[in-house]
Amino acid sequence: MRGSRTDFNPDEKIDWSVIRQVTPYLFEFKARVCLALLCLVGAKLASVGMPFVLKQIVDHLDGQGSALDSSLDSALVTVPIALLVAYGFIRLMNVLLGEIRDTLFGRVTERAMRRIGLKVFEHLHALDLAFHLDRKTGGLSRDIERGTNGISFIMRFLVFNIVPTFLELFLVMGILWQQYRIEYALIVFASVVAYIWFSKTTTDWRTQFIRKANQADSASNTRAIDSLLNYETVKYFANEDYESKMYDRELEQWESAKRQNRLTLFALNGGQALIISVSMAAMLTLAAYDVSQARMTLGDFVLVNAFLMQIFLPLNFLGFVYREIKGSMTNIERMLGLMKVEPRIKDAPEAPDLEVRGGSIQFSKVGFSYDGQRPILRDLSFSLQAGEKLALVGHSGSGKSTIAKLLFRFYDVDEGSICIDGQDIRQISQHSLRKTIGVVPQDTVLFDTTILENVRYGRPEASDEEVKAAIKMAHLEHFIAQAPAGYDTIVGERGLKLSGGEKQRVAIARTILKNPAILVFDEATSALDSASEIAVMTAIEEVSRGKSSIVIAHRLSTIVHADRILVMDQGRVVEQGSHIELLAMQGDYARLWQLQQHEQLGSE
């Protein structure tokens, strides 16, 4: 089903090695990280110190209350002002140090998100065409978005919540043991162990529901984007209701997964609350008993209560953090999983750049299939001399467009070799190869920006004057003169605001600006009307003059002036020669020519 994903396994364990992959990004700003850690330690020391100051205040007030007339005003007057000031100062420092810590570390997380996001983006562009034909754009973009956000969460909360919470726990247990009785430390220790065990066990169980929710979210998003990208097709077949039903089916799965997620979250929160409540009740009962036996003062009781609040509040938050980290790890795992996808098309080690000496092309005994089963090209051999215009014709499925994909090295040949000026394209860098070849495809896809910027994409560093010169050579000036915004006309997503002929001329202008040594025109006029075809063919003739060019054509009328024509059938060259020579052979080309002539006469 379109938009679905089949690689989901709810029993799969979280890959904790992603932490190791993310950690190096922490150390780009070592000074900031060190300062942030110092602020962390300072804040925790201030946090532990506050209950002691509070104890002294309460003990003093309790003592003054028994000696005087219990007047609150008189008691406050006699409380040492220094203790109140110290308590306020320590609380202020606790907050300020935490804010400074977050501010310092903010740039670390933001830079890490930038670095990792860029790395994933570059890796996706390095993957081969086969991966991108199979991908689901909506789900892929959502995976990347959730993954980068998950990295920010993990880097911030793992360092500044989990580690400091455990630091504070050990400090408090040590203080309770040394200052009072070991029973206090044991209650804290037992409650923490029970809390962590319950949280981990339950959260691990809940991970499957988080994964299902993410899967359903990606699937519904993919479905929506796929439908909107194919808006015209939906309208052509009046399938709005069908698309809505399919989208609602994906949303139904998302709703079900979210409901399961919410119910399991209720069970987790309820269990955590029970552990905390029992622990606090046990601690305060023991403290109250010690106060009644005069082993502790009222201030000590307040101190124990304050420590409990300081421990269990962040511990409760720790449960939330752990849950979110588990969810974030699922998201990061999915995103970093993209980095593990190896491109099938790779440069040879230390591959040199292509040295263009004229632009000759040689296909030598090339065999190729997309799936390893059904051959597309069989023992194909032909050559293109420098500056020659070669045309490829044949029925659909004969392998014409596959030749262009192999030349551009979207795929590698299974057998034989392809050489440019005597250099095997598998032994040279892909970047230099693709810089050498200019392609005008059958279906030109443009970016949702201006005509000027779409043409400039052929050579991003080109000046406005160079871009406008290329537009003029592509015979786009008349259209631009009529457009209210001129060169700044927005073409719409994928160029939907332009006609087929206008898009093709933008593609030609883009190729003119690139100025490659070799040109490939892949059925560039097959979908155009006669007037648009004439304009586009005129532009093609001008741009390809003096350059090596391959024209893949459906309409034979567009390639009658080619230097040589190859007629293909089932992945082989069955005829070759000029237009006149092929007509004289009275073979496949001649029959195809006569058929198209009759079709043209019939349409007139």
Question: What structural domains does the chain harbor?
Answer: 17-339 (1.20.1560.10), 361-603 (3.40.50.300)
| Pairing label, strands 518-522, 548-552 | parallel
More confident residue, 23 or 375: 375
pLDDT(443) > 80: no
Buried b vs exposed e over 44-57: b needs ≥16 C-beta within 10 Å? bbbbbbbbbbbbbb
% the chain with pLDDT above 70: 84
Q: Does residue 254 register a pLDDT over 90? A: no
- What distance lies between CA 486 and its chain's CA centroid? 34
**Confidence class of residue 494 from pLDDT cuts 50, 70 and 90?**
low
Reported as type and span, the H/E element at residue 391 is strand 389-394
Angle between helices 163-179 and 30-67 (to 10 degrees): 30
- Who wins on pLDDT, 188 or 61? 188
The pLDDT of 257-285, averaged and rounded, is 84
Note the residue count of the chain.
604
319 pLDDT tier (thresholds 50, 70, 90): low
Which SS3 state, helix, strand or coil, does residue 38 take? Answer: helix
Q: Give φ, ψ of 11 to 5 degrees.
A: -90, -5
- For 265-275, letters b (16+ CB in 10 Å) and e give beebeebbeeb
In tens, the pLDDT along 549-580 reads 999 888 888 888 889 999 998 888 999 999 99
User: 543 vs 428, which has greater pLDDT?
Assistant: 428
Evaluate if residue 13 carries a pLDDT over 60. no
Instruction: Count Cβ atoms below 10 Å from residue 281 Cβ, excluding itself.
Output: 10
What are the tokens at 169? Answer: 């726990």
Judged against a pLDDT cut of 50, whether residue 116 lies above it is answered with yes
pLDDT at residue 369 tops 60? yes
Q: What span, in angstroms and rounded, lies between the C-alpha atoms of 110 and 204?
A: 28
**Residues 6+ positions from 57 with CB-CB distance below 8 Å:** 79, 83, 84, 87, 299
Higher pLDDT, 365 or 545: 365
Q: What is the pTM of this model?
A: 0.61
Mean confidence (pLDDT) of the chain: 79
**Integer Cα distance of 529 and 479 in angstroms:** 16
Lowest mean pLDDT of 62-76, 342-356, 419-433, 526-540, name the range.
Answer: 62-76
HEC profile of 499-546? CHHHHHHHHHHHHHHHCCCEEEEECCCCCCCHHHHHHHHHHHHHHHCC
The band of 3, judged by pLDDT with boundaries at 50, 70 and 90, is very low
User: What pLDDT shows up at residue 567?
Assistant: 92
Mean pLDDT of 42-61: 74
Mean pLDDT calculated for residue range 216-236: 81
pLDDT for the residue numbered 363: 93
